[in-house]
Structure 1
Amino acid sequence: MLSEAAAQKTGMSKHEVAAIGDAMFALIGQALMEGEGVKLTAFGSLQVRPRAERLGRNPRTGTAHRISPRHTVIFTPSMQLRDQLDLAVTRAASKPARRRDWEVEAAVQPR
């Protein structure tokens, strides 16, 4: 859980960290509901954007239906987060893949 990891890293109690996190998310939600953008330094930004009415299709039956216009929250990662993610993915790709126990068993058994 995120609050447990933050509590261990900061030395604060889980209750204190959870209270701070809840307050932050409430403030972020309030700002978004007021139509404001939220910038989280070195992480990214959240913006409210309108979505136009469009025609959707039920994948099971194929019948078309109208999807009403609405507002949605869009997350845009910061350049710093993108760079760190690219570095982590590159490092993970250069390491040999670890097989899980069930994958090893499946690979060893004859077909």
Structure 2
Amino acid sequence: MKSIGDNIKKCRVEAGLSQADVAKLLKISTPAFCKIETGQTDLNISRLIQISKLFKISPSALISGIVIETESSEDLSGLKQQLLDKDEELNKLRKKVIELYDKLGM
């Protein structure tokens, strides 16, 4: 199991930030942040939340290392519209099937 520090490092690297960059954003020293990443310092809840907000992931994702990508509201709106369109198309096809059964006398 990866440690929280490993997960934080992964997020930092993916964001293209150095340890010094993240330390500055968190308003802590670079050595203090380095100790967080290497697991030499235990995180308190407030620091965990601060780091998770910085990387825009949930604290649980930071702990587990499992990040679930979320869709933006625009993407969700588009997907909902596609779903409605497909549902309408499906209803039309159902009507056609019923009409065909009626014509065949079934």
Normalising by structure 1, report the TM-score: 0.29
Question: Which one has the largest radius of gyration?
Answer: 2
| Higher relative contact order (CA closer than 8 Å, sequence separation 6+) | 2
